[in-house]
């Protein structure tokens, strides 16, 4: 356990030192987030104050939907990038010879980047709510944190799945783009799921993001109690408990298959 923590701290220290060399990148990223936030605000104003999807004002509805979708896309793509970088630099075979399982190495490598994306997303939402004076009423913070925790576990699982796709197909980014597009359409990122045809509404229930957005919006903007949050919380608990071990097994299988085929370092 302590060896794992030591490895994590070493990787986090490395990423922090690397990030400090590119301070201009932080400024540009912050500026892009501010522009995106203002764009969402004026989009909501253009639609009009009468539009309240799921009983929530459109701007906070958009703010939660787009920020979480962006976090999921960037967080999961970090896993694909980690595997691809190892393939490009020729270190993939060397990593496989270490005592630490490859999925742990990839997860540890990505963890600091994944955490940075999460912090950026939380700041984006907080600044948007404060800057545009969005009333929260009586939010269920504990419920929102529970939904967020389960959502992060699910996102982490999807990232490991995506890393396995990169090992097998070497086209993880293309598959990821397709999945992100489908999830953005079906999960209620920019419009409520209720406007979709019946078939797509049923399909959306099989997507973890749908339940993450429902839970976060209910907890933050409608002050829903744990009884009202039971459906999204239970769905996310099932998704995370199934997807995490399944993603590890699938990644291990992908690595074994790549070894047999001699395609470990292909990209």
Position 25 scores a pLDDT of 62
Cα 20 from Cα 43, distance rounded (Å): 35
Per-residue pLDDT tens digits for 102-149: 777 777 777 777 888 888 889 999 999 999 988 887 899 999 999 999
pTM: 0.84
206, HSE (Cβ side, Cα atoms, 13 Å): 5
- If you ran DSSP here, which 8-state letter would residue 51 be given? -
Q: Return the structure tokens found at 171.
A: 């086209």
Phi then psi dihedrals of residue 101, to 5 deg: -55, 145
Position 72 scores a pLDDT of 87
Cα 220 from Cα 14, distance rounded (Å): 35
Cα 79 from Cα 75, distance rounded (Å): 7
Per-residue pLDDT tens digits for 202-216: 999 999 999 999 999
Cα 254 from Cα 80, distance rounded (Å): 13
């Amino acid at each position: 356990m302590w060896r794992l923590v030591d490895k994590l701290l070493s990787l986090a220290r490395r990423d922090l030192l690397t990030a400090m060399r590119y301070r201009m990148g932080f400024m540009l990223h912050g500026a892009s987030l501010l522009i995106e936030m203002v764009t969402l605000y004026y989009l909501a104003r253009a639609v009009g104050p009468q539009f309240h999807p799921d009983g929530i004002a459109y701007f906070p509805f958009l703010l939660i939907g787009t920020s979480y979708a962006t976090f999921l896309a960037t967080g999961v793509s970090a896993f694909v990038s980690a595997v691809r970088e190892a393939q490009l630099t020729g270190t993939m075979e060397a990593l496989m010879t270490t005592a630490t399982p490859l999925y742990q190495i990839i997860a540890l490598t990505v963890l600091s980047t994944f955490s940075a994306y999460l912090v950026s997303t939380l700041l984006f939402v907080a600044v948007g709510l404060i800057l545009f004076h969005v009333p929260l009423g009586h939010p269920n913070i504990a419920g929102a944190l529970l939904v967020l925790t389960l959502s992060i576990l699910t996102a982490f699982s999807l990232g490991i799945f995506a890393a396995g796709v990169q090992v097998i197909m070497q086209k993880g980014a293309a598959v990821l783009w397709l999945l992100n597009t489908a999830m953005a359409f079906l999960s209620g990122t920019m419009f409520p799921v209720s406007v979709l045809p019946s078939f797509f509404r049923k399909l959306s229930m099989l997507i973890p993001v749908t339940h993450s957005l429902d839970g976060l919006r209910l907890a933050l903007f409608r002050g829903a109690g744990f009884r009202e949050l039971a459906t999204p919380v239970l769905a996310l608990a099932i998704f995370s408990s199934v997807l995490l071990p399944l993603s590890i097994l699938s990644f291990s299988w992908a690595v074994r298959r790549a070894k047999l085929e001699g395609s470990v370092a292909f990209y």
